[in-house]
Amino acid sequence: MPAQRLQGCRSLHLNEDNGRFALLALLILVYLLCGAAVFSAIERPSELRAHGRWNGTLLNFSETFNISLRELSSFLREYEAAIAAGIRADALRPRWDFTGAFYFVGTVVSTIGG
């Protein structure tokens, strides 16, 4: 019986170890796909509700302050880019002064190692 199983693997040009590895990789992929499906089914409705609330807030702000949605969206994109670059509206000191850089390096070295 084992010879037939090995024969099937040989026809695919896989030895037994490689066949087991391929099966394990396939099972892990199926597991990840199932996990993604469950996570998406749980989280997606909440994301859609939050997106709807955000759109309502944008529309209300736009109408209240007489700003077009296009201008408001453009402003918010610029704001997001500034935040990503580390610019803060009420920064008391620069983000990357010597003490901030020293703190960052110390955190990296103590967490990851040098």
What's the pTM? Answer: 0.54
Q: Rounded mean pLDDT of the chain?
A: 86
Query: According to the model, what pLDDT value does residue 113 have?
Result: 63
Using CA atoms, how far residue 2 sits from 6, 12, 16, 54, in Å, is: 6, 16, 10, 61
Average pLDDT over residues 7-27: 80
Taking the CA atoms of the chain, what radius of gyration do you get in angstroms?
27
How far is it, in rounded angstroms, from Cα 64 to Cα 59? 8
Q: 45 pLDDT exceeds 90?
A: yes
pLDDT, position 5: 53
Amino acid letter, 64: T
* DSSP helix/strand/coil, 17: helix
Lowest mean pLDDT among 8-17, 29-38, 62-71, 98-107: 8-17
Query: What pLDDT is recorded for position 100?
Result: 85
Which CATH number applies to 11-110? 1.10.287.70
Q: What is the pLDDT of residue 85?
A: 85
The rounded percent of the chain whose pLDDT value lies above 70 is: 87
Please state, in angstroms and rounded to a whole number, the distance separating the CA atoms of residues 85 and 90. 15
Question: pLDDT over 90 for what percent of the chain?
Answer: 60
pLDDT value at 12 more than 70: no
Alpha-carbon distances, residue 61 vs 11, 57, 65, 66, 103 (angstroms): 66, 6, 6, 8, 39
Q: What are the residue boundaries of the structural domains of the chain, listed by start?
A: 11-110
For the record, the structure tokens of 79 come out as: 């704001």
